Chain A
Amino acid sequence: MRIRVNGEPRDVPDGCTVAALVELCELRPEQVAVELNQRLVRRADRANVTLSEGDELELVTLVGGG
């Protein structure tokens, strides 16, 4: 199914969870945070949240800043 991740379209398997998406993107789960449709998905909940067609996700990390 088609979702959007960080503003870009992406295809993921049906039934894909947030946790699975983080793994698909080859990210370290403890270094990122996830928003689904502008709401935080807590790290502990990622495996329980299944994505739907058209979902918009933000995958963020911490970078240098003042």
Chain B
Amino acid sequence: MTDPLHDTTLKIGDVELRSRLLVGTGKYASFEETERALELSGTDCVTVAVRRVNLDASKGPSLLDHIDRSKYHVLPNTAGCFDAASAIRTAELARDVLDTPLVKLEVLGDKTTLLPDPIGTLEAAKELVSQGFHVMVYCSDDPRMCVHLAEAGVKSVMPAGSPIGSGQGVLNPNAIRIIQELVQGVPVIVDAGVGTASDVAAAMELGVEGVLLNTAVASAREPLRMAVAMKLACEAGRHAFLAGRIPKKLYANASSPLEGVIAGAGPA
């Protein structure tokens, strides 16, 4: 009998994560809140963005001062890039700071939807893979697109559940299940659109290898409590998936035995 508490690690390229929750560092009220939220979430892997330094600002503490790299893998993203060329440049800049081959590739189509541009995404993925990057790629829930990206050599495909920051959860669970079945050899991580704990549990119950979220925690009324909720939800959904749920049936199936009821009890 397998150990009911056991799970394997999530392997992405050379990196091994114990937690299947990946957490962003954006939108928090302070660096201190960011640090505490990450800790409460139980994550091993946090995302960061690449932006111009503020040359006018007084030289105070930075986000990097609040992320302990002995505790967390840092995954730089290419957020804010709307074409392959700028995404590639951004990845190269991040690699120079962090000295990691990991990159979360985002090539966005437009500012309103923040949906990924599929053409630019695939182009950038191929180029970054050829440059030795370990690419985790933000994409739509189009299974054929995910197959293209996996074949291009990315280390993880990360389909959106719904638009970034929208909190709508996984709108198309069947598409996610199909992606999980079609994509061979790389982990599938649901990234974007998660709103609350049940969204994370539902995603994990579909059998994906992980969930990446940011807004759902950072913009919750109580971010620290939501970080706790997300940690538990990710574990709950994962265990439920590994446990193998019962099928949904049209008719009832009694939980108590039918035999041995006292006289007068039982069905007519």
Identify the A interface with B (CB < 8 A). Answer: 5-8, 25-28, 30-35, 38, 40, 42-43, 58-66
Contact = CB atoms under 8 A, between A and B. Distances in A.
Contacts of A63: 26, 48-51, 63
Q: Main SS of chain B's interface residues?
A: mixed
B25 interface: yes
B59 A32 contact: no
Nearest to B65: A31
Given A25-B55, A26-B59, A62 B48 contact: yes
A31 B97 contact: yes
A6 B52 CA distance: 7
A62 B74 CA distance: 10
Contacts of B49: 62-66
Contact of B52 (A26, A59, A66): A59
A27 to B, nearest CB: 6
Contacts of A26: 59
Given A6-B52, A6-B55, A66-B24, A31 B62 contact: yes
A65 B79 contact: yes
Interface residues of B, number: 36
Contact of A61 (B51, B89, B192, B212): B51
Contact of B215 (A27, A33, A61, A66): A66
Interface of B: 24-28, 34, 47-53, 55, 59, 62-64, 74, 76-77, 79, 89, 92-94, 96-98, 164-165, 192, 212-215
Given A6-B55, A32-B97, A66 B77 contact: yes
A36 to B, nearest CB: 12
Ranked nearest first, the 5 interchain pairs of A and B with the lowest CB-CB distance are A65-B49, A66-B214, A66-B24, A33-B93, A64-B25
A40 B97 CA distance: 11
A28 B98 CA distance: 13
Contact of B26 (A33, A60, A64): A64
A28 B62 CA distance: 10
A63 to B, nearest CB: 5
